[in-house]
Structure 1
Amino acid sequence: MPTPSSVRNVVRRGPRSDATANREALIQAAQSVLAQQPNASLVTIAQAAGLSRRALYGHFPEREALIRAVVESGARKFNDIAESTNHADPRVALALLAARLWREASAVRASANIALDDAHVADTARALAPLRQRLRALTETGVADGSFRQDLSPAVLAYLVEEAARTTLRGRSSDSALPPSEIANAADTVVRVVLSIVGLGWQEQVALIEAHPEVLA
């Protein structure tokens, strides 16, 4: 039979659970709304989440607080991809990482767009620190074992790959959600750009992608 204290604990868990669900609903609604309307108001986002303005302000007293939460939510997905993408060949690992990140960026378009906004560079850099560390580790491995070009340092290669990704995303930032076929084609392009940066010629790229169809699967 439950004790009075256990009953109190159950009662207390309800509001916290609801609050967590409401906060997540607001972040998901913001992802969807901001992808289509980058300047959407908090009220519009609250309506999309099916919550009141009061509920929204209880979690995010200002728009910037919600924007930071959207960045952090997207960054967690990107960082998880970086952590889970492994392959003994650094060329394949980098290709897999590029393709998977591109697909995720297409899915969380608001986070990707915000990441390109100069006003949020610092927040984005902090949130994506694990991803950037993973990229740096890949370039260090690739340079060390001769898989990647030898005329540039791992740090420079990692920077160039990151900037290429930002440029590619910026070129797509005004697009609406892409159909699956176009996302696949774009992923192929992104992979080839990244592999070019680290020193692979086009024939090597074709051979690698054909040998590892999982890259674009």
Structure 2
Amino acid sequence: MEESVSRPRSRSNPNRSRILNAAVVCFAADPDASMDDVARAAGVVRRTVYAHFPNRDALVEGLAEDAGAALADAVDLAEPEAADIALAVGILRTWPVGDRYRVLLSFARKEVGEERIGELIAPMRTRTLDLVERGRGTGVFSSYLPAVVLVGMMEGLTMATLEQANLGLVQDSGETVALGVLVLAGVDPERAAHVVETAGQWLREYAGPA
């Protein structure tokens, strides 16, 4: 209980946020960036960095923790009733989180481990699985593959696009991933494009806390 109370308070610490923001930039530019590099980029002394993160592993875990919290917050919001639009809304809403923390998919993946990455995306995985099942129940999505396999393919598409962004090969705001995910779910490509457009409009007009 004590741990769950203290974490949100530590995440709201300005220095901690400044350090993590600097770490994202530093590690994206140089995966071997040191704690000193992060301190300089954050505009704080080394002692301040080590007060929050005693070593590099703790700093990387801090990034992972914040990424997981941001993703969970993005998932825990209102969504449209229609499963296809809701699926597209979720991708458009969570893409900025993945884009910000995509550095974790390159250098940090080995450091935090695949199991930890799986924990971070668990809220999105659960939500996507629920939407796929709901969409199949209403005939919006096809059932040519088991739902868990299909969701795994959707995750693979998203991760691959983030990796391409890491390499500077794509600059995507999520629409392409949303389109691909809908097509994987069995939505006609032309209709999928319309669904993504509708999802974007919904976000602009109606998105808010659940």
User: Contact 2:26 / 2:33 at 8 angstroms: preserved in 1?
Assistant: yes
Counterpart in the other structure of 2:61: 68
Provide the rounded CA distance (Å) in 2 between the counterparts of 1:55 and 1:210: 45
Q: How far, CA to CA, are the matches of 2:43 and 2:77 in structure 1?
A: 34
Q: Which of 104, 116, 121 matches 1:114?
A: 104
Q: Alpha carbons of 1:155 and 1:201: their partners in 2 closer, same or farther (altered >3 Å)?
A: same
Distance in 1 separating the partners of 2:121 and 2:199: 27
Match of 1:171 among 161, 164, 179: 164
User: Any conservation in 2 of the 1:139–1:155 contact (CA below 8 Å)?
Assistant: no
Change (3 A) 1:207 1:51: closer
Distance verdict in 2 for CA 1:215–1:38, change over 3 Å = farther
| Letter aligned with residue 113 of structure 1 | V
Is this contact kept in 1: 2:132–2:147, CA < 8 A? Answer: yes
Per-residue deviation at 1:208?
A: 2.5
- For residue 128 of structure 1, report the CA deviation from its aligned partner: 2.6
| 1:6 equivalent in structure 2 | none
The structure with more radius of gyration? 1
Change (3 A) 1:79 1:126: same
5+ unaligned residues in a row in structure 1: which ranges? 1-15
The alignment status of 1:214 with 2:201, answered yes or no, reads yes
Pairing 1:27–2:20 present: yes
**Matched residue SS, 2:59:** helix
2:182 is the alignment partner of 1:195: yes
Determine whether 1:138 maps to 2:107: no
Q: CA deviation at 1:126?
A: 1.5
**Which moves more between the two structures, 91-100 or 200-209?**
200-209
Provide the residue aligned with 1:126 in structure 2. Answer: 119
**Which residue of the partner structure matches residue 207 of structure 2?**
none
User: 1:114 is matched by which residue type in structure 2?
Assistant: L
Aligned CA-pair RMSD: 2.5
The superposition leaves residues 117-168 of structure 1 with CA deviations (integer Å, 9 ceiling, x where unpaired) of: 5413222212232222111211121122221111112211211111110111
Contact (CA 8 Å) 2:20, 2:63: kept in 1 or not? Answer: yes
| TM-score between the two structures when normalised by the length of structure 1 | 0.78
Q: Determine if contact 1:27/1:70 at 8 Å carries over to the other structure.
A: yes
Letter paired with 2:58: A
Distance 1:51 1:206, change over 3 A: closer
Alignment of 1:26-105 (within 5 A): 26-105=19-98
- Give the direction of change, closer, same or farther, for the CA distance of 1:91–1:128 in structure 2 (3 Å limit): same
Q: How far is the alpha carbon of 1:169 from its aligned partner?
A: 0.8
How far 1:85 sits from its partner (Å)?
Answer: 4.7
- Counterparts of 1:40 and 1:85, CA distance in 2: 39
TM-score (norm 2): 0.80
What are structure 2's unaligned runs of at least 5 residues?
1-8, 205-210
| Structure-1 separation of matches of 2:32 and 2:167 | 13
Distance in structure 1 (CA, Å) of the matches to 2:196 and 2:156:
23
CA–CA distance in structure 2, aligned partners of residues 212 and 63 of structure 1: 39
C-alpha spacing 1:193/1:73, structure 2 compared with 1 (3 Å): same
**Alignment: residue pair count:** 192
